[in-house]
Amino acid sequence: MDVYGLIGNPVGHSLSPPMHEAGYEQLGIDARYVTFEPPEDGGAEAVRSAANLGVSGLNVTIPFKQDVLDAVEPDDLAARIGAVNTIDFSTDPPTGHNTDAVGLVRALEHHDVSISGRAVVVGAGGAGRAAAFGLADRSVTVDIANRTTEKATALAEEVTSADAVSGTATGHGLDAIEEILADADLLVNATSVGMEEDRSPVPAEALHGDLAVLDAVYSPLETRLLKDAQAAGATTVDGAWMLLYQGVEAFERWTGESAPVGAMNDALRGGLE
Ligand code: ATR
């Protein structure tokens, strides 16, 4: 039996176990997915212990996504983002990947959203970095807007100067949102604004019908931003799709199988409702 898992602190609320186990069950894979909660300074050590115990794969969440870089060989994208959320123990040393970036792109593709043109990413933290690099890697022109303008500008410089990245990025403060959204094709909320609150990081008047809007927040599923976007005639993609596809991407990397996306989605949404 293969053992996969998640390290985070806290991890009690995680929906990854039912999501991944629904996938194993559907494909008849003999595996389990369990959660581990190492102490806050114990991320890298937990990864080394997991390798010794024969764990096949680990997902990594807050607060360990940066710390585990010390215990793995990160691939190019994870190194550029500066965060690892998926570890593959089939190599020595284990390899570190970031499936948040690809998960975002696959969530958009699932909704037939074209990954091209101009995108506005609101937020320049971990999720914002994954979104900016993931979209720029697909040749999208990215405008990053963040409450702390300097973080957006610094991230934009990193994205634009990265060798492997084909798109370009520009950083802004939140006050630029209306202007940069006017001719944008895509909007991603990568801030925590809207989580368990009826608040949007973007003024409703700035939204328009030519936009596709993805909110990385998934609690609630229908955020204020997505309600406003729907009212403006935009295509909307809720945060559970990104959560699903970062998991799908990890599942496929570990098992080498095409993930049963429908079964994993049902298990995830069953837990969210
Ligand atoms: P994550 O890993 O989920 O991205 P994070 O790294 O803590 O979490 O980043 C949180 C993001 O949400 C940041 O872009 C943050 O803006 P700052 O860089 O200025 O801190 C943004 N954010 C959090 N609370 C916010 C608020 N009330 N208004 C606007 N942006 C906010």
For residue 178, give the CATH number of its domain: 3.40.50.720
Is the domain of 156 the same as that of 188?
Answer: yes
The CA–CA distances, whole Å, from 257 to 26, 29, 101, 123, 252 equal: 12, 10, 20, 33, 5
Q: Look at residue 254 in the predicted model and tell me its pLDDT.
A: 98
The CA–CA distances, whole Å, from 193 to 115, 143, 174, 229 equal: 24, 18, 13, 15
Is the domain of 160 the same as that of 223?
Answer: yes
pLDDT at 85 over 80: yes
The answer to whether 123 and 98 have CB atoms below 8 angstroms apart is no
- Looking at residue 189, its amino acid is N
Which residue minimizes the CA distance to atom 27 of ligand 1? 193
Backbone angles phi, psi at 48, to 5 degrees: -65, -40
Q: Is 192 in the pocket of ligand 1 (CB under 6 A)?
A: yes
Q: Is 98 in the pocket of ligand 1 (CB under 6 A)?
A: no
Is the domain of 250 the same as that of 231?
Answer: no
Which atom number of ligand 1 is nearest to the Cα of residue 122?
14
Is the domain of 61 the same as that of 136?
Answer: no
- Looking at residue 43, its amino acid is G
Q: Look at residue 164 in the predicted model and tell me its pLDDT.
A: 75
Is the domain of 14 the same as that of 80?
Answer: yes
pLDDT at 135 over 90: yes
pLDDT in tens, 202-251: 999 999 999 999 999 999 999 999 999 999 999 999 999 999 999 999 99
pLDDT in tens, 152-210: 999 999 999 987 778 899 999 999 999 999 999 999 999 999 999 999 999 999 999 99
Overall domain count for the chain? 2
Is the domain of 116 the same as that of 81?
Answer: no
- Looking at residue 163, its amino acid is D
Which residue minimizes the CA distance to atom 11 of ligand 1? 191
Is the domain of 206 the same as that of 247?
Answer: no
Is the domain of 221 the same as that of 125?
Answer: yes
The answer to whether 140 and 116 have CB atoms below 8 angstroms apart is yes
Is the domain of 158 the same as that of 90?
Answer: no
In 3-state terms, what secondary structure has residue 125? coil
Q: Look at residue 230 in the predicted model and tell me its pLDDT.
A: 98
Quick one: which H or E segment has residue 214?
Answer: strand 212-215
The CATH number that applies at residue 34 is: 3.40.50.10860
Is the domain of 267 the same as that of 212?
Answer: no
Q: Look at residue 150 in the predicted model and tell me its pLDDT.
A: 98
The domain in which residue 209 lies consists of 101-237
Is the domain of 229 the same as that of 110?
Answer: yes
Q: Is 125 in the pocket of ligand 1 (CB under 6 A)?
A: yes
Is the domain of 144 the same as that of 221?
Answer: yes
